[in-house]
Amino acid sequence: MKNVKVVSFLLTFFQCAAVIIIPITISFTVPGIKRGFICGDPSLSKPQLPDTVTNWMLGVWAISPIFILLMCEIIFNRKKCDTNLACLNLSWRNTSYLFHRYVINICLMHLVLFTAKYFTGSHRPHFFETCKPDVLNECIVGTYVQNYKCTNTQVPFYKILDASQSFFSGHAATCFYSCTFIAWYLQRRVKPTNIFCLPLIQSLLLSLAYFGSISRVFDHRHHSIDVFVGGLVGTLTTIHAWMHQCKNHTFDVETLPTIQSRKINPLPNNSNITTITSE
């Protein structure tokens, strides 16, 4: 049984890695749909600014739920366990189940993301600065230009391709997915003893997601519609993850038995999350 679980884990890992790595490699090496532009378009004439939320910060943001989930599970289960080891074991089982579903859905979301970027070819707000189209100084303002060539040799080729991959925002999708996933988890997990505390935490999570998303507009990396759709996709991914993958599981704190032994039984509602019950 243990070998089967290891093989299943490795298979899921390689599938998720392929879903992420292959589209990224294609999108930054092979030109996608080439769209024209309106000469002198002010929405494409903005300077590129440093990222407020950098890629490495986004990566930390994306994996942070595993630590938040584990910390919350330890807090919620500490009074149900006789030993710290039993509490950690139970908390890790619940966390790994939820994070497994979280990772699968974030990988699928990014597959949709890179497909949209590659086949839409929407220009970023700093497109003129990054690409420097050869006809930019010769075209008539307001006319549509289809045939052009990027002449900027000061930036790498992948940045030229990236300048035409604005729709939709991966930062917004990731920020909203991770924050709404945790907000949904807290809604199902926390015992409603305070009508203010839980909504406050959820509001802070949504505010954090909004900040990470809207910063892409201020940094001239995305248009407003890119951020809006990215946030919508991230939220819809959370709904799919919880309703389909996690079966909208309810953690019934009142009926969880006291942990005194190492016998493992499944929780109700046909969930794969397990707990340790007394003999």
Please tell me the distance from the alpha carbon of residue 140 to that of residue 190, in angstroms, as a whole number: 61
The structure's pTM equals 0.83
pLDDT, tens digit, 9 for 90 and up, residues 27-64 = 777 778 899 999 999 999 999 999 999 999 999 999 99
pLDDT, tens digit, 9 for 90 and up, residues 170-188 = 999 999 999 999 999 999 8
What local confidence, expressed as pLDDT, does residue 251 receive? Answer: 60
Residues constituting the chain: 279
What local confidence, expressed as pLDDT, does residue 1 receive? Answer: 55
DSSP string, 145-203: E----B---SS-HHHHHHTT--SS-HHHHHHHHHHHHHHHHHHHHS----TTHHHHHHH
Please tell me the distance from the alpha carbon of residue 65 to that of residue 237, in angstroms, as a whole number: 15
What local confidence, expressed as pLDDT, does residue 218 receive? Answer: 96
What local confidence, expressed as pLDDT, does residue 5 receive? Answer: 64
**Residue 158 and residue 29 in contact, taking contact as beta carbons nearer than 8 Å:** yes
pLDDT band at 260 (very low <50, low <70, confident <90, very high): very low
